[in-house]
Each structure stands twice: as structure tokens, then as C-alpha cells.
Amino acid sequence: MQLARVIGDVVITRKDENLMGLTLLVLQPIAADGTPAGRTLVAVDAAGAGVGETVFFVRGKEASFPWYPTEVPADAGIVGIVDHWDVES
């Protein structure tokens, strides 16, 4: 799992029928100190996140697990909203 900040949403009028009713969000991965870490990506949201929130997400086949047995065509999925985190200095 990785941390990310939700920086936008995606609106699609024509998409795979297995994505119908699902929210797609633009993520900026972040490091443990909150700084940007890597390229932005689009993820399917299973947690009800919104723009400005910090989330954790998974990549690969695990991204579709929240909708099992439906096979969602996704390689990144938001699986939780972060309330806070602590890092030892």
C-alpha cells in the first residue's frame, strides 16, 4: 500500500460497463513526510474519498478486490482514507 493525496477527479462518459457507478480519482503519491513522490495516476475509489484527502491505495490485481466477484479493469485502487499518520524522526 502507498500513501497519496487526491488532487482531482475524472469524468468519463463512455467506459467499460464494469466501471459503471465507480468513481475515478487523480492521485499524487506522497512520501512519509507528505512530499510528492512519483507520478500522478488515476485510481478507482472504494472508500468514498474526495479531492484534498489523503488516502492509501494498492496497485495491480488487488485494486479490483473490493468489487469481487465483478472483475473491475483497474490497476490502482483506493482502499482507505487516512485520518493521520506518525513518523519517527
What confidence tens digit (pLDDT) does each residue in 9-62 have? Answer: 999 989 899 999 999 999 999 999 999 999 999 999 999 999 999 999 999 999
What confidence tens digit (pLDDT) does each residue in 72-89 have? Answer: 999 999 999 999 999 887
Give the pLDDT confidence score for residue 23 in this predicted structure: 95
What is the share, in percent, of the chain residues with pLDDT greater than 70? 100
Retrieve residue 79's grid coordinates: 482502499
What fold characterizes domain 2-81?
OB fold (Dihydrolipoamide Acetyltransferase, E2P) (2.40.50)
Q: How far apart are CA 31 and CA 38, in angstroms?
A: 9
Mean pLDDT of the chain: 94
